[in-house]
Structure 1
Amino acid sequence: MPDGSAPLRGIGVSPGVAGGPLLRVAEVSALPPAGAVADPAAEADRAVAALAEVVAELTRRADRTGEKTLVDVLRAQAMMADDPMLSDAVREHVAAGMDGPHAVDAAFATHRAAFEAAGGYLAERVADLDDLRNRTVAICLGRPMPGVPSPGHRYVLTARDLAPADTVDLDPEQVVALVTEDGGPTSHTAILARALGLPAVVACAGVRDLAEDTTVLVDGGTGVVGVDVDPAEVAAAEAVDRDHLSAAAVTSGPGRTADGHPVALLANIGSARDLGAADGAEGVGLFRTELLFLDRSREPDLDEQAEAYRAVFAALPGRRVVIRTLDAGADKPLPFLHQTDEPNPALGVRGLRLARQRPELLHTQLAAIARAAERTGAEVWVMAPMVSTRAEAAEFADAVHAAGLPRAGVMIEVPAAALRAGQLLQVVDFLSIGTNDLSQYTFAADRQSGALAELLDPWQPALLRLIAEVGAAGRAAGKPVGVCGEAAADPLLAPVLTGLGMTSLSMSGRALPRVRAALADHTYPDCERVARLALDADDPEQARKAVAGEP
């Protein structure tokens, strides 16, 4: 990173290097003093109509964007704004004496507090609620919406957290990188940055304190943001990155090291619509099925599920598709489950644990997967999230095989599973490491906490030690072990993971060329060597420098 003022550090969530003057998303102005309400019924109608206008605008934006990931995000956000509980709360606040804008603000504040208390997936959606609140209040007050600047030149965009609706009008010819003060590896900023192929850093404390037009250089791989960087150095760093990307794009075919050691390069997807961005993948390493269930008032039936799964399987004949059973509950509540509140949802009934309360949910899903797999030619592997013990793994494997599916595996997301990986492999066919959750549970650090970003770094030696335990268990059992967290998308970390025993790496489709090229630059003994360097490091920064060969 070029010299200048002291660099800022966050979590790199989308690789690449780019720089330019820093500009921020305009924020809405403060609410005016509360006003008297002459006609509460009419005031409530106007406030609810503003909510409806936000829903309509988000839907229009979803209809006009060609980015499939963004379409899904915008439609989900529109559903949040269309929640009858929200409009009912607005009416109740108006009835209690508030004017429309303040009623909207109060209703969203209640929802926001509930989402934050729930943690996990819902806490990640707080930025969406804030954006919906701001848009609705702006309509109530007749003010312009906040949005992304369009200065007519290249720049780096910063915000507290980027709202999905803002990205519809984002011009990639102008916006070269994203840096947010909040958010985490699974925030919408991270998801959208990867979908758009923009370098991005989240949880970057202090970035919003920088003066606008400060020249910054963003490294979306390391999470470092250079400050007051000379424009010539920015241009030089971007040129080097373009050369690396061009060289990476030339590579093709299966992932392997320079001496031919195979490492399957797979894609993470949420539905068949994501397959276009995964053209260079050898298959799918993580097919998230929860998108079919979220924001639903009823469980999708067997036929609906089977059709959604078949669309993916049929597109990948002869290739591996690892489908994860429902990863929901607790922090990703499903309305039709009617779950009770939990004091700590991240440690509650989620993932496979739902099958204890609702075994039919798992059985229906496995039956749908089995029906969808018939005659598609895909090599379908099934895995369960949130597994902690051998008994849980064995029970799940029995259910998978009873459904007629040949390969059963489990996610390694909690330290207990990593430490007992050898025992798990006695009853399942493969393991897949979810680095985001494994980091969160290993360091007792909520993955959405910007203040704890350093603990959530995938280069943490303690996390790598757990990954090494899983890799050693896989080698001893002669069974596949992979990483399906976005840590797999880091080109510098990929050889380390390979040296730790990973047989596959699964990531967003745009990250595949860089990772494929990084593996091709290393022999397998090289991978083992850099893995030892990373394990022996005292902290993430030292681990990165040791692997990169920096002093």
Structure 2
Amino acid sequence: MCCFTPVCVDLSTICCNLVHMTSSPAVQSLAALSIGAGTVLSGVPVVAGVQYAPVIRPGRVPAPDELSAEPDIAEADRAAEASRFTAAAAAVAQRLRDRAGHATGVASEVLAATAMLAQDRAWLGAAEKGIAQGAPAVRATTAAAAQFVDLFTQMGGLMAERVTDLLDIRDRVVAELNGLPEPGVPVPDVPSILCAEDLAPADTAGLDPTLILGLATTLGGPTSHTAIIARQLGIPCVVAIAGLSEVPVGAMVLVDGTRGTVTVSPDPAEATAAVEEAARVTAAMANWTGPGATADGHKVAILANVQDGAAARAATETPAEGVGLFRTELCFLSRDTEPSVDEQADIYSEVLQAFSGRKVVIRTLDAGSDKPLKFVGHPDEANPALGVRGIRITIGNPGLMERQLAAIAKAAERTGNSPWVMAPMVATAEEAKIFAAQVRAHGLTPGVMIEVPAAALLADRILEHVDFLSIGTNDLAQYTMAADRMSADLAALTDPWQPGVLALVAMAARAGAAVGKPVGVCGEAAADPLLACVLTGLGVTSLSAAAAAVNAVGTKLASVTLTQCRDAADAVLATASAAEARTAALKALE
């Protein structure tokens, strides 16, 4: 089935539109006049930290303006031109696959998904058709991309996010056809702050944190893959910043990923002092060795989110006490056919072995919507985000879950480490009951994800069937607030600090406490040290975050008492907005 239907777009949910580079002195001068020194731009804080450095921006290969003036290709030369286009698209895809092979975790998944898009038959076929009618390869590439850009834009929502992915692929193929370097983030001469409208998946996944000290984007939200990869790399990051496009290349800026601000041309001495203070705090975090607990000894397990064996081994270098979320999609998404039980068992064994004797929570396949599988036959859906995804895929593919559980059980037997297993997108107690029976039949411990508001509201009834809950705050925020988590316009709504979202977290935590069963958080909210304290106050028993966030979360939690956490939680639940919630938590905890 075509990957350009609402059903099977082969990409993780990530905005990836490249901003035009405006580096001429004239443009910079005009921009400098429109935004004064000391101007503070506000956005949504994503990754804590403070950095001060000059601005760089990504470049791109613009679509030619005079394509219609290009002469048509003679009929005798059209086959060769089609071959040239096919080779260019293949070269782009191969480079992305090579980079995916050298990356880990989210970065590897994003690069692999982008490589799949570069080889998608829908837009390749459209370009080849244009060439067959006489269009040169560059013109045909641009026209084919434009065809689907229009379609996706009209669809809106999640499909509109695919527009930026496609434009990135278009630019890379056009560059290859013209013999130009690939577009993307330039390698700066000095450590810099990367400012952009948003970032292409390949560019975000390939950032060097020693040269890119901070990220600031006009688009994106706190749960976009740009944000997730920034957390994985430990790069201070602020998204959804109005006015950022006016900041010129080369301007000195102070990015504060804790407060969610970008200060343009700040006082150098004050900026340097802010960076030094942040470095002092970071150094203190490096000394935290775990285990997770408040200052008065209340235990809260600090765990890591991983996606493969390499990420798990990297996480063992931190004080993480185990794995709170092992995303298993990576071994499925890049496949034309379902991986065998043995293939899956090999992958799962790597993670279980890395954390031998320690807790590992495996999430069963979370696909559908923006993460389609080629081999399951997704139905056409008007709104795939609310359609057949997560556990719902097993309705039409009953053997898929059984084979994955068999592979997990085989890996457990092989390594001697029996994991907990949870299902995504559970919405009813009946779904939980059926899943729990399947998991127990393999000798494993069952749990479910709380991502659907109905599951939070009925957490007490779901807990009659499973042994634990894990709250996925990314999707819980999206569904609670009825807001696409990738929409820059709605970033404030999908902020995990929204009191409505936290009220549902509190409800699930209370249900777990009532029956003595653990309730953890494995969404990106757990990576926010301040919010982690609030979650603890709400009754959450474990926090699972990107490995790069483990020390920060553990250090912050160790600096406050359980009473402070509970006071902060009560104060947050009494607020009416995400901004008020942050302020209330700061007051209670600091």
Distance 1:167 1:230 in 2: 30
2:62 alignment counterpart: 29
Decide which moves more: 329-338 or 412-421: 329-338
1:437 alignment counterpart: 475
Query: Following TM superposition, by how much is the alpha carbon of 1:482 offset from its aligned partner in structure 2, in angstroms?
Result: 0.7
**How many residues are aligned here?**
547
The ranges of structure 1 where at least 4 consecutive aligned residues each deviate by more than 6 angstroms after the TM superposition are: 114-123
TM-score normalized with structure 1 length: 0.93
Residue 331 of structure 1 contacts residue 350 of structure 1 at CA under 8 Å; is this kept in 2? no
Is 2:326 the counterpart of 1:310?
no
Distance 2:315 2:103 in 1: 16
Distance 1:308 1:169 in 2: 23
State how 1:271-310 maps to structure 2 within 5 Å.
Answer: 271-279=308-316, 280-310=319-349
Distance 2:505 2:37 in 1: 36
Q: Taking structure 1 as reference, are residues 477 and 124 closer, same or farther at Cα in structure 2, changes over 3 Å only?
A: farther
Is 2:25 the counterpart of 1:14?
no
1:361 alignment counterpart: 400
2:514 to 467, 476, 487: 476
- Give the 3-state SS of the residue equivalent to 1:260 in structure 2: coil
1:500 to 533, 538, 558: 538
State how 1:75-154 maps to structure 2 within 5 Å.
Answer: 75-112=112-149, 126-154=163-191
Residue 221 of structure 2 contacts residue 485 of structure 2 at CA under 8 Å; is this kept in 1? yes
1:332 to 364, 371, 382: 371
Is 2:502 the counterpart of 1:464?
yes
1:53 alignment counterpart: 91
Residues 70-128 of structure 1 deviation map (CA, whole Å, 9 limit, x = unaligned) = 44433432232133444322111222343211211232334556667888887666544
- Matched to 1:312, the amino acid is V
Is 2:451 the counterpart of 1:413?
yes
- Give the 3-state SS of the residue equivalent to 2:493 in structure 1: helix
Query: Following TM superposition, by how much is the alpha carbon of 1:224 offset from its aligned partner in structure 2, in angstroms?
Result: 2.6
Is 2:411 the counterpart of 1:372?
yes
Q: Taking structure 1 as reference, are residues 45 and 361 closer, same or farther at Cα in structure 2, changes over 3 Å only?
A: same
2:570 alignment counterpart: 532
State how 1:219-238 maps to structure 2 within 5 Å.
Answer: 219-238=256-275
- Give the 3-state SS of the residue equivalent to 1:336 in structure 2: coil
- Give the 3-state SS of the residue equivalent to 1:337 in structure 2: coil
Query: Following TM superposition, by how much is the alpha carbon of 1:404 offset from its aligned partner in structure 2, in angstroms?
Result: 2.1
Residues 16-65 of structure 1 deviation map (CA, whole Å, 9 limit, x = unaligned) = 221222221123234132212233323222222221232343345456x5
2:430 to 391, 411, 414: 391
Residue 19 of structure 1 contacts residue 156 of structure 1 at CA under 8 Å; is this kept in 2? yes
Distance 2:150 2:520 in 1: 37
Distance 1:257 1:179 in 2: 32
Residues 443-483 of structure 1 deviation map (CA, whole Å, 9 limit, x = unaligned) = 11000000011101111111111111111111111110010
Residue 365 of structure 2 contacts residue 391 of structure 2 at CA under 8 Å; is this kept in 1? yes
Q: Taking structure 1 as reference, are residues 451 and 168 closer, same or farther at Cα in structure 2, changes over 3 Å only?
A: closer
Aligned-pair identity in percent equals 52
- Report the aligned-residue RMSD: 2.5
- Give the 3-state SS of the residue equivalent to 2:193 in structure 1: strand
Q: Structure 2, unaligned stretches of length 5 or more? A: 1-35
Q: Taking structure 1 as reference, are residues 490 and 236 closer, same or farther at Cα in structure 2, changes over 3 Å only?
A: same
- Matched to 1:442, the amino acid is T
Distance 1:134 1:448 in 2: 22
Residues 374-401 of structure 1 deviation map (CA, whole Å, 9 limit, x = unaligned) = 1523241010111111111111111111
TM-score normalized with structure 2 length: 0.87
1:38 to 59, 67, 73: 73
Query: Following TM superposition, by how much is the alpha carbon of 1:338 offset from its aligned partner in structure 2, in angstroms?
Result: 1.6
1:201 to 229, 238, 243: 238
Distance 1:121 1:290 in 2: 19
- Give the 3-state SS of the residue equivalent to 1:456 in structure 2: coil
